[in-house]
Structure 1
Amino acid sequence: MLDQVITARSASIGNGFDVKRILPYRLRRMLGPFIFMDHAGPVSKTPAELVKMDVLPHPHIGLSTVSYLFDGQVTHRDSLGVQQIIRPGEVNWMTAGRGIAHSERFEDPALLAATAFEMVQTWVALPEAAEDKAPTFTNYQPDALPIFTETGVWMRLIAGDTYGLKNGVATDSPLFYAHVVLQPGARFGPPTGFSERGAYIAKGSVEVNGHTYGVGQLLVFSKGVDPIVIAKEPSTLMLLGGEPLGERYIWWNFVSSSRERIEQAKADWQAGRIPLPPNDNAEFVPLPPDDKSRPASSNPQPQALS
């Protein structure tokens, strides 16, 4: 039924802001094309504390970041000149391609202090042919994302093509990503037709094959087996997966099928060849120290939120 159960680890992204880090994991680097997954929050802090949680401009290559909020809001700015307030229920899909820099700022701390902040952030690795494509950013409003409901089940399709649903979120490889809310006793199955599938438990608890799993656990389903997930209480799941892309290297915020390309990205950021956001360029995150004695997967922590 389950190939693996991954329990989130605590990771710091600086300034006292800790997140639950699910992927990458030492025994599973990726799930389909998904190579990174963080669950931030719920966070309730004073306005002064929230301002300190700002994520300064930092670079990416070779991936798409997918930001999905449950509560609160954050302002995104990037080197394309995009400025976007990210709100709950939207899909914010940034494809780094050959290189992009962006920041995330908490610019309405009074609102966030009142409503808290909670977000799931994933990175989708790009196929080799798309790794050096031009960077893009697209905001998809909730009314562009189809909803599925049945007794005790509510689901929003974030991206992909599954359960008979489609949306206009542009992806570069076969995948699925969905936000699912289950009421107690509701039964739900992962989608079929994909090589790799998983369900991250963001809230509540569920039963699979007689065993109970809870918040912060990613259930990786066995290939060719279609288990039933039963909600033990009101529960929120993030379903994700798709087709594997092959080996990828990850160092800090860089993802690539080539070690040499990551070395180039390091040099590009150090030399200022990846431009800063034009409306947020007074400060940035410097390149971390490079420890070549460690594998790429264990080098500096990614600069999430994204």
Structure 2
Amino acid sequence: MSDATSLLIEPRLHDLGDGFVVRRLLPFRLRRHVGPFVFFDHMGPVDFAPGRGVDVRPHPHIGLATVTYLFEGALTHRDSLGLEQVIRPGDVNWMTAGRGIVHSERTPAPERAAGHRLHGIQTWIALPRDHEEADPGFFHHGAGSLPQSERDGVRLCVIAGESFGMQSPVRVYTPTLYADARLAAGATLHIPPEHAERALYVIAGEVRVDGMPVAPERMVVLAGDADVALVASTDAQVLLCGGAPLDGERTLWWNFVASDKARIERAKAAWQAQGMGQVPGESEFIPLPEH
């Protein structure tokens, strides 16, 4: 590690079937969260043959916001509020679970019929304690609505929060860093210490962080008070995430996040009793996991 970095996180692989591999970076045993980000999954890339696709059956969430951001492919979101939305590359789906919501994610019919590639990032953002029981909601932001800049071989898009002098239209509950950086080989991005907690994840290409080489599919947690130089050894894509520290630890159990373990137990009971709502038109039920 260098003066500007504090931890290198290697992914843990999870095979969800049909060759659909997810790389999990957060939570990590030495770093459970960075800013409000308590969960960080890199999905794919995976190529689905015609007739195949993703079928994430209806499942519940509490106490968090899910954020979906795709590089390739498409997913159809449906939820217990009766909302339906297809997300495509560059869009943002932000779902506030709050006191409870149920949703499903599936490959849209045209992509399923034709065969397609899926590649993207899913994150969970813990809601602050005073918003953990907020009303659930879903918000879609098209790629064209997100602020972007391009200079000296670096193209930036602010997914959520505020960074590099730009502010995303996506509503956040605490100061948040979430940005997509695409660098040409040899380009440099200076990452200022404008957020208390920061990390970067290398999607593709090879980069050097404060002189330290970082391979693809690795996350680097940055020191909070350092101006960090990110240099692309090849064409590269990097996601930056972080923000203000959480207002206390969180318990993560299955799809539930809460500052109070008793709240997790109430959510378990509500889901088992099928009392958290239903996605219209979908009747599948996933029982609570044993562990």
> Closer, same or farther in 2 for the Cα pair 1:112/1:125, shift >3 Å?
farther
Unaligned runs of 5+ in 1: 291-306
Partner of 1:123: 124
How many angstroms does 1:192 deviate by?
A: 2.3
> Closer, same or farther in 2 for the Cα pair 1:158/1:231, shift >3 Å?
same
Aligned partner of residue 21 in structure 1, secondary structure: strand
Of 21, 24, 29, the match for 2:27: 24
Name the CA distance, whole Å, in 1 between partners of 2:258 and 2:41: 19
Question: Which residues in structure 2 correspond to 1:19-58 (within 5 Å)?
Answer: 19-50=22-53, 53-58=54-59
Number of residue equivalences? 287
Question: Which residues in structure 2 correspond to 1:172-183 (within 5 Å)?
Answer: 172-183=173-184
Partner of 1:146: 147
TM-score, normalising length from structure 2?
0.95
Deviations 1:58-95 (A, max 9, x none): 00000000000000001000000010001110111000
Name the CA distance, whole Å, in 2 between partners of 1:285 and 1:115: 27
Aligned partner of residue 116 in structure 1, secondary structure: strand
> Closer, same or farther in 2 for the Cα pair 1:20/1:27, shift >3 Å?
same
Partner of 1:250: 252
Question: Which residues in structure 2 correspond to 1:225-304 (within 5 Å)?
Answer: 225-245=226-246, 246-279=248-281, 281-290=282-291
Identity %: 45
> Closer, same or farther in 2 for the Cα pair 1:112/1:72, shift >3 Å?
farther
Residues 1:165 and 2:166 aligned together: yes
Letter in 2 for 1:153: V
Partner of 2:12: 9
Name the CA distance, whole Å, in 1 between partners of 2:133 and 2:267: 11
Unaligned runs of 5+ in 2: none
Name the CA distance, whole Å, in 2 between partners of 1:197 and 1:71: 25
Q: Is the 8 A contact 1:162 1:191 kept in 2?
A: no
Deviations 1:208-233 (A, max 9, x none): 23321111101111121112010011
Higher strand share: 2
Deviations 1:17-55 (A, max 9, x none): 3201110011100000000000001111212332xx310
Runs of 4+ aligned structure 1 residues displaced above 6 Å come to none
Partner of 2:201: 200
Aligned partner of residue 225 in structure 1, secondary structure: coil
> Closer, same or farther in 2 for the Cα pair 1:288/1:220, shift >3 Å?
same
Name the CA distance, whole Å, in 1 between partners of 2:111 and 2:204: 25
> Closer, same or farther in 2 for the Cα pair 1:132/1:14, shift >3 Å?
farther
Q: Is the 8 A contact 1:44 1:113 kept in 2?
A: no
Letter in 2 for 1:289: E
Q: Is the 8 A contact 2:68 2:93 kept in 1?
A: yes
